[in-house]
Structure 1
Amino acid sequence: MKTVILGLALFLGTLVQPALAQKADVSGKFNQSLKSYYALKNALATDKSEEAPKLALALQTAVKEVPHKGFKETKQHLLWMSESAVIQQKALELSKSNDLKNQRKSFEGISIAFIKLAKELKLNTQEAFVQYCPMGKFSWLNEVKEIQNPYYGSQMYDCGTVKDTLEKN
């Protein structure tokens, strides 16, 4: 009887292990894309329009590397497919511009999509802050609680408020 139970436990373990590894891979790659998002946000917040195109392409690559088939729930998979497509399209759009105003317009679409993903997927391994600028009515994610406004940069670097805190998962 002990042998049967042990055999069953080992069998179930082999079924669960790949699923856990797949979830860890999805989470890891998602968090890499989030780091790429933050790098782009930081460049825009400090008016570095010459860095933004390269960072947008790095973001696009990071998003492509998230193994979307690792989402077990259909709802999560569909959300990832729709929002990641927006991020990739807007990142490509941003990468083709050297104009800070146009880059920030593209970043708006990236931010809206990333906020949806972070809130719904709950994969962030670090605390994240949804911040909001009442002047332009823009939102973005930030890795720190202090406001770093990517839409107005040096003009109004600290304009905004923290609207939501996404706990680490």
Structure 2
Amino acid sequence: MAGIGRMNIGQGFDAHRFAPDGSGRELWVAGLKWDGQGEGIEGDSDGDVAAHALIDALLSAARLGDIGTLFGVGSDSAGAGQHGLPMLEHTVAHLRAHGVEPSSASVVVIGNRPKIGKRRAEAEAALSRAVGCPVSVTATTTDRMGFTGSGEGIAAIANALVGFRPR
């Protein structure tokens, strides 16, 4: 990362409810479509909690607001109908336009499904390509506690390290 000065870390969080049975929503998490894992996630976009938490972590580290600041909120927002990876790519372009370069990131998916472990390398590769730096992906459950443990929804927490190019 030649030419990078000050480094900042940021954190992001996202949570969504699973769509009701029969909704036809596709399940997208960590930039991947998860067929055969049940209904998708409710939201104006694809509801990819891992991508959304990572967007917030990147924007937080860059001191450029949050996902709502960049994409807006609601069914008529710029993020409505979008998938997580193109949103991440747009976020990184926004950071770079402000002299900020992603350096490293991690995401923890919290929920009973999908089972991340079998596709962890694929998820890490997809997110890393979109962000332009290494992204690690881990997962956990809450031992049947709360909305993620009951299967009502899914959440993610992300951290990102960014560097600022001297001006």
Q: TM-score, normalised by structure 2?
A: 0.31
Q: Higher helix proportion, which one? A: 1
Pair member with larger Rg = 1
Q: Higher strand proportion, which one? A: 2
Higher relative CO (Cα under 8 Å, sequence separation at least 6) belongs to 2
Q: TM-score, normalised by structure 1?
A: 0.30
